[in-house]
């Protein structure tokens, strides 16, 4: 039996250079295909988690909101201004609708002002003056009870402020993945 094994190994021909290169090329093509497939799969997966821009931000309880009529509060990690007006609460995107500049809240003038081109907006993001083509964009705000029931939500068509419920323990959440474009200026 040992003699037969020796004879079988002696009858095998060694792999030549051309076959080796073909084999190496096919293996590398297989690795490339797996890499492209893996990257494509990862691209299709959701990228935004809670607390990241593009995801949902939990801003705390209704009782921790600034009082109605007070100046807006910046939430830098969410790229939004939280404004509590007499009509309700809203989340306003921090990017100007003119050329994408970052505007500021001017407390002395009680308005948002773009330092680059002079566009001005009311505390609810409504256009006042300047070259901006429309009012500021808003994000969808949800107010949930402790058991997860949605008590109020921004209308995704109009972006109107959300009335604040009487429950001070309700949670305020902002979905920065759902942006409502500001209405055109009139």
**Calpha distance 74→93 (Å, rounded):** 10
- Say what the pTM is: 0.67
Weakest-pLDDT range from 5-9, 73-77, 82-86, 132-136: 5-9
Please, which residues have CB within 8 angstroms of residue 119's CB and are 6 or more apart in sequence?
Answer: 96, 97, 98, 103, 113, 127, 129, 130, 131, 132
Strand order in the sheet with 104-106: 104-106, 111-113, 120-121, 127-129
In percent, how much of the chain has pLDDT > 70?
Answer: 88
Question: Rounded mean pLDDT of 15-22?
Answer: 89
pLDDT by residue (tens digit) across 104-115? 888 888 888 888
Site of tokens 């429950």: 167
How high does pLDDT run on average in the chain?
Answer: 81
In percent, how much of the chain has pLDDT > 90?
Answer: 9
Q: By the 8 A CB rule, do 173 and 78 touch?
A: no
Site of tokens 């002395």: 108
SS3 100: coil
């Amino acid at each position: 039996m040992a003699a037969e094994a020796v004879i079988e190994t002696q009858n095998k021909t060694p792999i030549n250079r051309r076959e080796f290169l073909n084999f190496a090329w096919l293996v590398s093509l297989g690795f490339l295909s797996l890499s492209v497939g893996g990257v494509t799969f990862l691209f299709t997966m959701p990228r935004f988690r809670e607390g990241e821009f593009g995801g949902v931000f939990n801003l705390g309880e209704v009782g921790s909101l600034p009082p109605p009529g007070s100046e807006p509060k910046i939430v830098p990690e969410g790229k939004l201004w939280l404004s509590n007006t007499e009509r309700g609460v809203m989340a306003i995107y921090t990017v100007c609708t003119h050329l994408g500049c970052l505007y500021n809240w001017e407390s002395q003038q009680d308005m948002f002002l773009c330092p680059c081109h002079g566009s001005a907006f009311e505390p609810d993001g409504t256009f006042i003056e300047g070259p901006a083509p429309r009012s500021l964009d808003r994000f969808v705000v949800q107010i949930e009870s402790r058991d997860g029931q949605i008590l109020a939500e921004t209308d995704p068509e109009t972006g109107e402020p959300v009335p604040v419920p009487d429950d001070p323990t309700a949670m305020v959440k902002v979905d920065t993945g759902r942006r409502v474009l500001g209405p055109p200026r009139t």
